[in-house]
Amino acid sequence: MASIFEKKFSVRSLVEFLLRTGDLDNRIQAPSDAMAAGSRLHKKLQKQGGADYHAEVPLAGTFVLALKEKEARIRIEGRADGIVLQEGEVPMIDEIKGTYRSVTKMKEPNSVHLAQAKLYAFLYARQEKLPQIRVRMTYGNLDTEKIRCFENLYFWSEMEDFFQEILSLLRPWIEMEAGWQEVRTASILQMHFPFSW
């Protein structure tokens, strides 16, 4: 391998970039106070978690991705909304999302939200060498504060498969960016400064 290409992603931006689907029309937006209401809901739920609930836990990992002509070093980092560590229980990643939709009518978590939680779970399970990990998606209605949770148990092999899927979706984009960076650097090196020293 000739050289190394480096790229850093936040967990959220990575899954949103790779997995988001839908309409290009983004004129429908949440009310301006949604961010503040979401933050209040996060803090309230994190506080209710008790002594076993660890809020805003930083997680990160660096991974090498083999490209056609070089290697890419990928850094993925972020903060899990919560990690629940109860004696005798499988650790659980909690991802909290605020919404104005009715949480009682939800049948399953949003796939991008779940992927974000699973990526945090992968990073934590890898770091702690866990054979299994639980993932909980916690949805809270920002008006009523009603809560709806979806919980799943994943084995390490499932987490590895999930992460390999993420890398396979990422690889073509990294190949393209690394190639463009090579072309850019070569053209810069061929430029001549127009003034004498």
DSSP secondary structure string for all residues of the chain: ---EEEEEEEHHHHHHHHH--S-S-------TTHHHHHHHHHHHHHHHT-TTEEEEEEEEEEEEEE-SSSEEEEEEEEEEEEEE--TTS--EEEEEEEESS-GGG--S--HHHHHHHHHHHHHHHHHHT-SEEEEEEEEEETTT--EEEEEEEEEHHHHHHHHHHHHHHHHHHHHHHHHHHHHHHHHHHH---SS--
| Residue 159 reports pLDDT greater than 50 | yes
CATH topology of domain 33-59+80-185: Trna Endonuclease; Chain: A, domain 1 (3.40.1350)
pLDDT digits (tens, 9 = 90+) for 43-73: 888 888 899 999 999 999 999 988 887 888 9
Both tokens of 49, joined, read 């978690």
Work out the pLDDT band at 184, boundaries 50, 70, 90: low
Domain boundaries along the sequence of the chain: 33-59+80-185
pLDDT at 27: 43
pLDDT at 177: 79
For residues 160-187, give the mean pLDDT: 84
CA distance 72 to 98: 35
Give the predicted TM-score (pTM) of the model: 0.86
Work out the pLDDT band at 185, boundaries 50, 70, 90: low
- Tell me the average pLDDT of the chain: 88
| Residue 178 reports pLDDT greater than 80 | no
pLDDT digits (tens, 9 = 90+) for 79-108: 999 999 999 999 999 999 999 999 999 999
**What percentage of residues in the chain have a pLDDT greater than 90?**
59
Work out the pLDDT band at 1, boundaries 50, 70, 90: very low
Work out the pLDDT band at 186, boundaries 50, 70, 90: low
Contact 48, 57 (CB under 8 A): no
